[in-house]
Amino acid sequence: MLQRPRRNRKSEVIRQMVQETHVTAANLIFPLFIIEGNNQKSEVSSMPGIYRHSIDNLLREVESCLKLGLKSFDLFPNVAEVLKDKFATESYREETLYLRAIREVKKEFPEACVITDVAMDPYSSDGHDGIVENGVILNDETLAILGKMALAHAQAGADIIAPSDMMDGRVGYIRNVLDDNGFSDVSIMSYTAKYASAFYGPFRDALNSAPKFGDKKTYQMNPANQREALIEADLDEAEGADFLMVKPALAYLDVIKLLKDNTELPVAAYNVSGEYAMLKAAVQKGWLNEQRATTEVLTSIRRAGATAILTYHAKEVLENKWL
Ligand code: PBG
């Protein structure tokens, strides 16, 4: 044998020398859930270690993350049922929880990168990402609401707008609204290939945002499809997206790789709530080694081609020095 691949695995020093993929704090984006109130911190039961924070607590959480070198945050609001309506009007009300949170974080920590979620579902009495009429999710009518929401986020100080709704044409629509209002520097991280996945369950628990009827299959992608992701990628690129995102991550590593090979834009991946819950549940049962399983998951997502990873593990991997 002239070639013995094991020679490059024989010591820790050599293994590290030939390691192809790394995960660093700079690659991580931490999703944070927000609720109304003072000094509130309520754990999401299906996501051990993940909390809904009132704004004062959110600021403390952001501060402790910044100290760890974790600088990018994706915010999501838990909206009281009484504030929801068919048109998600609460989403762009000047004093709504979400906009206050963005303003406060950017005021206290201008160095933090604030990513905001544009979608109707947390504010919709139907629990859908678009306007519902006779059981149908309207596309073009929804764009106007998404545009208002994105503009409100930009005015509040958002660095990156992340539309997660999967309406056709929304990236271009939002790009135009932002540009027309003097926000040409605000970026768009598009949920390009967002699948109608079973792995969003715990997130919907966290926000109480599950659809009131039906499912999201007329707008989110069929988990069986890969080529369709290229259509979405071409459109988002042409419409002005700055990042293309794949969601979920773990069951879709092939899609991350596919987009990576077909775009020059950075590719992001969302390691979603159900993926987090699955790992934590197995750890709690004593069935997996937490540190090894967590770092393997994040490394795999990077290896597949993701530049940035949105993950609920972001803080713990830095806190525990697992990277
Ligand atoms: C809503 C949205 C969802 C997630 C992010 N934005 C849920 C959904 O589409 O129903 C899921 C994130 C996660 O599961 O961690 N537009």
Residue 232's pLDDT is 98
Residue nearest to atom 10 of ligand 1 (CA): 200
User: Which residue numbers belong to the known binding site?
Assistant: 232
**CB-based pocket (< 6 A), ligand 1:** 117, 119, 121, 129, 164-165, 200, 203-204, 216, 272-273
Residue 261's pLDDT is 98
Residue 68's pLDDT is 98
Residue 288's pLDDT is 98
Residue 290's pLDDT is 98
ipTM of the complex in this document = 0.97
Just give the CATH number of 22-319.
3.20.20.70
Mean pLDDT of the chain: 98
User: Which residue numbers belong to the known binding site for Mg(2+)?
Assistant: 232
SS3 321: coil
pLDDT band at 199, cuts 50/70/90? very high
Q: How many angstroms does the Cα of residue 266 sit away from the middle of ligand 1?
A: 21
Whole-structure pTM value: 0.97
Probe ligand 1: pick from 164, 217, 273, 275, max atoms within 8 Å of CB? 164
SS3 42: strand
Q: What is the mean pLDDT of residues 9-28?
A: 98
Q: Which residues pair with 267 in a beta bridge?
A: 244
